[in-house]
Amino acid sequence: MKYGIWLVLVFFGLQAAAAWAAPAGTNLLVQENGAKVVAFSSEYGGWGADSMVPSLARLREPGIEIEDFVWCTADNAPFPHWVLFEFKQKQWLTTIVFNNALKEEDAYPGISARQVEVWVGQDSRDKLTKVAAFELERNKKGQSVKIAPVPARWVKFIITSNWGHPTWTEMNASALIDDGSRPSDFSSEMAAKGKVDVYGIYFDFASDRLRAESRKALEDILRFHKEHPTQALLLEGHTDNVGGQKSNQDLSMRRARAVIDELVRMGAVAARFTPVGFGAGQPVDSNDTEAGRAKNRRVTVRLGK
Protein backbone atom coordinates (compact mmCIF):
# COMPACT_ATOMS: atom_id res chain seq x y z
CA MET A 1 0.00 0.00 0.00
CA LYS A 2 2.85 2.37 0.76
CA TYR A 3 4.24 1.80 -2.72
CA GLY A 4 0.80 2.52 -4.19
CA ILE A 5 0.60 5.81 -2.31
CA TRP A 6 4.14 6.68 -3.38
CA LEU A 7 3.31 5.97 -7.03
CA VAL A 8 0.21 8.15 -6.80
CA LEU A 9 2.26 10.97 -5.29
CA VAL A 10 4.89 10.63 -8.00
CA PHE A 11 2.16 10.65 -10.65
CA PHE A 12 0.60 13.84 -9.31
CA GLY A 13 4.07 15.35 -8.84
CA LEU A 14 4.80 14.73 -12.51
CA GLN A 15 1.45 16.22 -13.45
CA ALA A 16 2.27 19.35 -11.46
CA ALA A 17 5.68 19.61 -13.11
CA ALA A 18 4.15 19.19 -16.55
CA ALA A 19 1.53 21.85 -15.80
CA TRP A 20 4.26 24.25 -14.66
CA ALA A 21 6.55 23.78 -17.64
CA ALA A 22 5.87 26.58 -20.11
CA PRO A 23 5.81 25.65 -23.81
CA ALA A 24 8.90 26.67 -25.76
CA GLY A 25 8.65 30.23 -27.03
CA THR A 26 6.18 31.51 -24.43
CA ASN A 27 6.83 34.46 -22.16
CA LEU A 28 8.04 33.26 -18.77
CA LEU A 29 7.75 36.73 -17.23
CA VAL A 30 4.01 36.63 -16.49
CA GLN A 31 2.09 35.83 -13.31
CA GLU A 32 0.62 32.60 -14.70
CA ASN A 33 4.14 31.16 -14.98
CA GLY A 34 4.89 31.91 -11.33
CA ALA A 35 7.15 34.89 -12.00
CA LYS A 36 7.16 37.82 -9.58
CA VAL A 37 9.05 40.97 -8.65
CA VAL A 38 10.90 40.42 -5.37
CA ALA A 39 12.86 43.68 -5.09
CA PHE A 40 13.35 47.01 -6.87
CA SER A 41 15.22 50.28 -6.46
CA SER A 42 12.21 52.65 -6.46
CA GLU A 43 8.78 53.21 -7.98
CA TYR A 44 6.28 55.98 -8.59
CA GLY A 45 2.63 55.88 -7.57
CA GLY A 46 0.48 53.68 -9.78
CA TRP A 47 3.41 52.81 -12.04
CA GLY A 48 4.91 50.20 -9.76
CA ALA A 49 7.63 47.63 -10.40
CA ASP A 50 4.99 44.87 -10.27
CA SER A 51 3.83 46.14 -13.66
CA MET A 52 6.89 44.40 -15.08
CA VAL A 53 5.20 41.02 -14.43
CA PRO A 54 1.67 41.36 -15.80
CA SER A 55 -1.10 38.81 -15.88
CA LEU A 56 -1.35 36.95 -19.17
CA ALA A 57 -5.12 37.14 -18.89
CA ARG A 58 -4.92 40.93 -18.59
CA LEU A 59 -2.57 41.16 -21.57
CA ARG A 60 -5.16 39.34 -23.68
CA GLU A 61 -8.02 41.69 -22.85
CA PRO A 62 -9.37 43.73 -25.79
CA GLY A 63 -7.78 47.15 -26.08
CA ILE A 64 -4.91 46.32 -23.72
CA GLU A 65 -1.37 46.91 -25.00
CA ILE A 66 2.08 46.28 -23.56
CA GLU A 67 2.37 50.08 -23.16
CA ASP A 68 -0.27 49.84 -20.43
CA PHE A 69 2.19 48.01 -18.15
CA VAL A 70 4.75 50.57 -17.05
CA TRP A 71 7.35 50.74 -14.28
CA CYS A 72 8.32 54.32 -13.42
CA THR A 73 11.05 55.27 -10.95
CA ALA A 74 10.49 57.62 -8.03
CA ASP A 75 11.05 61.38 -8.29
CA ASN A 76 14.74 62.17 -8.85
CA ALA A 77 15.81 58.63 -7.90
CA PRO A 78 19.52 58.25 -8.67
CA PHE A 79 20.87 55.78 -11.21
CA PRO A 80 21.14 52.85 -11.36
CA HIS A 81 17.50 51.77 -11.32
CA TRP A 82 16.87 48.05 -11.00
CA VAL A 83 14.21 45.40 -10.68
CA LEU A 84 14.73 41.79 -9.56
CA PHE A 85 12.52 38.97 -10.84
CA GLU A 86 12.14 35.50 -9.38
CA PHE A 87 10.78 32.30 -10.96
CA LYS A 88 9.18 29.44 -9.02
CA GLN A 89 12.03 27.25 -10.19
CA LYS A 90 15.12 27.49 -12.36
CA GLN A 91 14.37 28.29 -16.01
CA TRP A 92 16.43 28.33 -19.17
CA LEU A 93 16.54 31.77 -20.79
CA THR A 94 17.36 32.19 -24.48
CA THR A 95 15.56 35.36 -25.57
CA ILE A 96 14.88 38.77 -24.05
CA VAL A 97 12.30 41.20 -25.42
CA PHE A 98 12.64 44.77 -24.15
CA ASN A 99 9.53 46.91 -24.54
CA ASN A 100 10.54 50.54 -24.34
CA ALA A 101 7.63 52.43 -25.95
CA LEU A 102 6.18 54.87 -23.43
CA LYS A 103 2.92 56.73 -23.72
CA GLU A 104 4.53 59.49 -21.63
CA GLU A 105 7.50 59.96 -23.97
CA ASP A 106 5.92 62.88 -25.86
CA ALA A 107 5.05 64.76 -22.67
CA TYR A 108 8.27 63.75 -20.88
CA PRO A 109 10.97 63.47 -23.57
CA GLY A 110 13.80 61.08 -22.76
CA ILE A 111 11.92 59.13 -20.08
CA SER A 112 12.54 55.74 -21.73
CA ALA A 113 15.40 53.50 -20.54
CA ARG A 114 18.65 53.56 -22.49
CA GLN A 115 21.54 51.48 -21.12
CA VAL A 116 20.34 48.21 -19.57
CA GLU A 117 22.30 45.36 -17.99
CA VAL A 118 20.97 41.81 -17.51
CA TRP A 119 22.13 39.77 -14.50
CA VAL A 120 21.08 36.22 -13.59
CA GLY A 121 21.38 33.96 -10.55
CA GLN A 122 20.86 30.22 -10.27
CA ASP A 123 21.08 29.42 -6.58
CA SER A 124 20.89 32.76 -4.77
CA ARG A 125 19.33 36.16 -5.38
CA ASP A 126 22.41 37.66 -3.76
CA LYS A 127 24.90 36.01 -6.14
CA LEU A 128 24.20 37.21 -9.67
CA THR A 129 26.29 37.18 -12.85
CA LYS A 130 26.14 39.76 -15.61
CA VAL A 131 25.29 38.02 -18.89
CA ALA A 132 24.56 40.90 -21.27
CA ALA A 133 24.10 44.64 -21.65
CA PHE A 134 22.49 46.75 -24.36
CA GLU A 135 21.71 50.26 -25.43
CA LEU A 136 17.99 50.22 -26.19
CA GLU A 137 16.48 52.22 -29.01
CA ARG A 138 14.54 55.20 -27.74
CA ASN A 139 10.80 54.73 -27.21
CA LYS A 140 10.47 51.45 -29.14
CA LYS A 141 8.85 48.14 -28.16
CA GLY A 142 9.73 44.65 -29.37
CA GLN A 143 13.51 45.00 -29.02
CA SER A 144 14.31 41.30 -28.92
CA VAL A 145 17.65 39.54 -28.67
CA LYS A 146 18.61 35.89 -28.47
CA ILE A 147 21.30 35.33 -25.85
CA ALA A 148 23.58 32.38 -25.18
CA PRO A 149 21.25 29.97 -23.28
CA VAL A 150 21.59 30.37 -19.51
CA PRO A 151 19.74 28.82 -16.55
CA ALA A 152 18.31 31.28 -14.03
CA ARG A 153 16.06 31.41 -10.99
CA TRP A 154 16.53 35.16 -10.59
CA VAL A 155 16.89 37.84 -13.27
CA LYS A 156 17.82 41.45 -12.62
CA PHE A 157 17.50 44.38 -15.01
CA ILE A 158 19.77 47.30 -14.13
CA ILE A 159 19.09 50.58 -15.95
CA THR A 160 22.19 52.80 -15.88
CA SER A 161 20.85 55.66 -18.02
CA ASN A 162 17.76 56.95 -19.81
CA TRP A 163 17.36 59.08 -22.92
CA GLY A 164 17.67 62.36 -21.07
CA HIS A 165 14.72 62.97 -18.75
CA PRO A 166 16.02 64.52 -15.49
CA THR A 167 13.35 63.22 -13.10
CA TRP A 168 11.98 59.80 -14.08
CA THR A 169 12.86 56.69 -16.04
CA GLU A 170 10.27 54.25 -17.40
CA MET A 171 10.17 50.80 -18.98
CA ASN A 172 7.30 48.61 -20.13
CA ALA A 173 6.89 44.97 -19.14
CA SER A 174 9.47 42.84 -20.93
CA ALA A 175 9.47 39.18 -21.98
CA LEU A 176 11.88 36.39 -21.06
CA ILE A 177 11.62 33.35 -23.33
CA ASP A 178 13.01 29.82 -23.54
CA ASP A 179 13.01 28.75 -27.20
CA GLY A 180 14.31 25.26 -26.35
CA SER A 181 17.91 25.75 -27.48
CA ARG A 182 20.77 24.76 -25.18
CA PRO A 183 24.53 25.42 -25.01
CA SER A 184 26.64 23.58 -27.56
CA ASP A 185 30.37 23.04 -28.02
CA PHE A 186 31.68 25.28 -30.81
CA SER A 187 34.21 22.80 -32.23
CA SER A 188 31.81 19.85 -32.11
CA GLU A 189 29.06 21.79 -33.83
CA MET A 190 31.46 23.05 -36.49
CA ALA A 191 32.65 19.48 -37.13
CA ALA A 192 29.08 18.22 -37.43
CA LYS A 193 27.54 21.04 -39.49
CA GLY A 194 30.39 23.04 -40.99
CA LYS A 195 28.91 26.17 -39.40
CA VAL A 196 27.89 27.61 -36.04
CA ASP A 197 25.15 30.17 -35.39
CA VAL A 198 26.63 32.22 -32.55
CA TYR A 199 24.17 33.93 -30.22
CA GLY A 200 26.62 35.04 -27.55
CA ILE A 201 27.80 37.95 -29.69
CA TYR A 202 25.92 41.06 -28.60
CA PHE A 203 25.40 44.40 -30.29
CA ASP A 204 23.43 47.44 -29.25
CA PHE A 205 20.07 47.49 -30.99
CA ALA A 206 20.23 48.71 -34.62
CA SER A 207 24.00 49.18 -34.19
CA ASP A 208 27.30 47.49 -35.01
CA ARG A 209 28.71 48.42 -31.60
CA LEU A 210 30.02 45.17 -30.11
CA ARG A 211 29.32 44.68 -26.40
CA ALA A 212 31.95 43.52 -23.91
CA GLU A 213 29.74 40.57 -22.91
CA SER A 214 30.56 39.03 -26.31
CA ARG A 215 34.02 38.08 -25.06
CA LYS A 216 33.31 34.41 -24.31
CA ALA A 217 31.77 33.73 -27.71
CA LEU A 218 34.65 35.51 -29.42
CA GLU A 219 37.13 33.41 -27.47
CA ASP A 220 35.39 30.24 -28.72
CA ILE A 221 35.81 31.41 -32.32
CA LEU A 222 39.43 32.42 -31.72
CA ARG A 223 40.24 29.06 -30.13
CA PHE A 224 38.89 27.20 -33.17
CA HIS A 225 40.78 29.57 -35.46
CA LYS A 226 44.08 28.85 -33.69
CA GLU A 227 43.48 25.09 -33.49
CA HIS A 228 42.95 24.97 -37.28
CA PRO A 229 45.71 27.23 -38.62
CA THR A 230 45.01 26.60 -42.32
CA GLN A 231 41.22 26.84 -42.17
CA ALA A 232 39.56 29.85 -43.79
CA LEU A 233 36.34 31.06 -42.14
CA LEU A 234 33.37 33.04 -43.37
CA LEU A 235 31.93 35.47 -40.82
CA GLU A 236 28.29 36.08 -41.74
CA GLY A 237 25.96 38.76 -40.43
CA HIS A 238 22.19 38.19 -40.49
CA THR A 239 19.22 40.37 -39.54
CA ASP A 240 15.46 39.97 -39.25
CA ASN A 241 13.12 41.50 -41.82
CA VAL A 242 12.28 44.66 -39.87
CA GLY A 243 13.47 47.72 -41.76
CA GLY A 244 14.51 48.20 -45.36
CA GLN A 245 16.50 45.67 -47.36
CA LYS A 246 19.36 48.10 -47.95
CA SER A 247 19.71 49.09 -44.28
CA ASN A 248 19.57 45.45 -43.16
CA GLN A 249 22.19 44.48 -45.72
CA ASP A 250 24.44 47.31 -44.55
CA LEU A 251 23.97 46.50 -40.85
CA SER A 252 24.68 42.79 -41.32
CA MET A 253 27.93 43.52 -43.15
CA ARG A 254 29.04 46.11 -40.59
CA ARG A 255 28.42 43.64 -37.78
CA ALA A 256 30.39 40.90 -39.56
CA ARG A 257 33.31 43.29 -40.01
CA ALA A 258 33.09 44.45 -36.38
CA VAL A 259 33.44 40.85 -35.18
CA ILE A 260 36.47 40.24 -37.41
CA ASP A 261 38.08 43.49 -36.27
CA GLU A 262 37.69 42.44 -32.63
CA LEU A 263 39.03 38.94 -33.32
CA VAL A 264 42.09 40.46 -35.00
CA ARG A 265 42.64 42.66 -31.93
CA MET A 266 42.53 39.44 -29.89
CA GLY A 267 45.23 37.82 -32.04
CA ALA A 268 43.44 36.34 -35.07
CA VAL A 269 44.88 36.45 -38.60
CA ALA A 270 42.68 38.83 -40.59
CA ALA A 271 43.43 37.19 -43.96
CA ARG A 272 41.73 33.96 -42.88
CA PHE A 273 38.36 35.65 -42.30
CA THR A 274 35.92 36.88 -44.91
CA PRO A 275 32.97 39.08 -43.88
CA VAL A 276 29.61 38.45 -45.55
CA GLY A 277 26.37 40.36 -45.01
CA PHE A 278 23.12 38.58 -45.86
CA GLY A 279 20.68 41.05 -44.34
CA ALA A 280 17.33 39.30 -43.85
CA GLY A 281 17.87 36.92 -46.77
CA GLN A 282 18.61 33.72 -44.81
CA PRO A 283 16.15 33.41 -41.90
CA VAL A 284 16.31 30.33 -39.67
CA ASP A 285 12.93 30.97 -38.06
CA SER A 286 9.71 32.86 -38.65
CA ASN A 287 9.85 36.65 -38.64
CA ASP A 288 6.28 36.70 -37.34
CA THR A 289 7.26 36.38 -33.66
CA GLU A 290 9.67 38.22 -31.37
CA ALA A 291 11.51 34.97 -30.58
CA GLY A 292 11.80 34.14 -34.29
CA ARG A 293 13.16 37.56 -35.20
CA ALA A 294 15.67 37.35 -32.36
CA LYS A 295 16.85 33.98 -33.68
CA ASN A 296 17.24 35.38 -37.18
CA ARG A 297 19.49 38.19 -35.94
CA ARG A 298 22.71 36.27 -35.58
CA VAL A 299 26.36 35.89 -36.50
CA THR A 300 27.25 32.66 -38.28
CA VAL A 301 30.78 31.27 -38.52
CA ARG A 302 31.12 28.94 -41.52
CA LEU A 303 33.99 26.89 -42.92
CA GLY A 304 35.49 28.60 -45.97
CA LYS A 305 37.59 27.30 -48.83
Write the pLDDT tens digit of every residue in 34-93: 999 999 999 999 999 999 999 999 999 999 999 999 999 999 999 999 999 999 999 999
What letter would DSSP give residue 280?
T
For residues 129 and 258, membership in a common domain is answered with no
E strands, the chain, in order: 36-40, 70-72, 81-98, 113-121, 129-135, 143-162, 170-172, 175-177, 195-198, 233-238, 273-277, 298-303
For residues 215 and 299, membership in a common domain is answered with yes
For residues 101 and 249, membership in a common domain is answered with no
> Domain containing 229 — which CATH number?
3.30.1330.60
pLDDT band for position 214 (cuts 50, 70, 90):
very high
Where is the domain boundary, 151, 177, 203? 177
- Report yes or no on 67 lying in a domain: yes
- Report yes or no on 87 lying in a domain: yes
Residue 305 has pLDDT above 90, yes or no: no
Task: Write down the pTM of the prediction.
Answer: 0.89
3-state secondary structure of 235: strand
Task: Residue 260: give the domain boundaries.
Answer: 186-303
- Report yes or no on 7 lying in a domain: no
Q: Which helix (H) or strand (E) holds 143?
A: strand 143-162
For residues 21 and 149, membership in a common domain is answered with yes
Domain count for the chain, please give it. 2
Where is the domain boundary, 177, 210, 238? 177
Q: List alpha helices for 84-209, DSSP H.
A: 186-193
Of residues 49 and 6, the one with the higher pLDDT is: 49
For residues 253 and 193, membership in a common domain is answered with yes
- Report yes or no on 9 lying in a domain: no
3-state secondary structure of 99: coil
**Contact call for residues 218 and 259 (beta carbons, < 8 A):** yes
